Amino acid sequence: MQNVFISYSHTDHEIADNIVSVLEELSIPYFRDIKNIRWGDAIPASVRDGLSSSSAIIVIISPGSLKSDWVPYEVGYATARGINILPFLTHPAIETPAFIYDLSYVETVKQVREYFISYQSEPHNHQNTDQKDITSKDELQEPTSEKKYSSTQRRGWFTDRVHAFLVGEAGFPIDAISVTWSDDPENDIATVFTDGGLNDKEISILIDIGKNLGVQVIYCTN
C-alpha cells in the first residue's frame, strides 16, 4: 500500500495519534501534517504532494473538522484524483457532511486496525465483521457513468464534490459557486460558475471530478 493520508482538525490530535499508532504497528506509511510538512514549507503544495503519493485518505469527522477549511479541500482533491476515502466518525450523532455522505464509515480505532489487517492479508477481499457497513477498496471508489446510478445521484455527487474542492482549493466562499445543468436528462452536462477565475490546474481537477462521475464540465466566471 502507498501512503495513507490523515485528514483531521488539530482538535482531534489524540484520535489522529491513535490511528498513527495503528499504522506504525502495521508498517503502513502515512502522511500527517506535523510529520511531513516542515517549517517554511508551502502548505497547499505539501498537501497536494502528500495526497498524490497516497492510495487512501482517512478523514476524521468531528465538530472541529466540520469547521475546518482544510478537510473539505483535502477530500475534494482526493476525490478528483480517485483516492480511496475512509471516513472516521468521532461520534455517531455527528451529521455527516455532504462531501462524504454516500460513503460507509467506522467509529473506533479498533475498526481501523481490523480494516488494515484485513487489507494486508487479503487486499482484494477485506471483510471485517466489526465494521459498520465497511466496503472493499473497489467499492469505495467514486461512482462512474458505467455503474447503475441515476442522473440525479450523479448530479448531486458532482455538485457536492465541486463545492468541497473549490472551497478548499481555490478559497471561494460557498455562495460564490454555482452549478447549473443541461435540460437533457440523458446527458449530464454541468456548467460551473465562480466569482473569479481558476488557474489551469484547478480547472483540470474540476474536469477530472466530472470525468470520474460521467459528467461533462463547462467552466465559466461570473
Kindly list the domain boundaries of the chain, sorted by start residue: 3-140, 151-221
180: helix, strand or coil = strand
Q: What's 4's DSSP letter?
A: E
pLDDT tens string 109-141 = 999 999 999 888 765 444 443 433 433 333 333
CATH for the 151-221 domain, from 3.30.429.10, 1.10.1050.10, 3.40.50.300, 3.40.220.10? 3.30.429.10
**Residue 191 grid coordinates:** 456548467
How far is 62 from 16, CA to CA, in rounded Å? 12
Tell me the β-bridge partners of 60. Answer: 88
| Residue 168: pLDDT band with limits 50, 70, 90 | low
How far is 61 from 95, CA to CA, in rounded Å? 9
**Residue 181 grid coordinates:** 445543468
Residue (of 50, 58, 75) closest to 115 by Cα position? 58
pTM for the structure as a whole:
0.64
CATH number of 3-140: 3.40.50.10140
Q: Is the pLDDT of residue 217 over 90?
A: yes
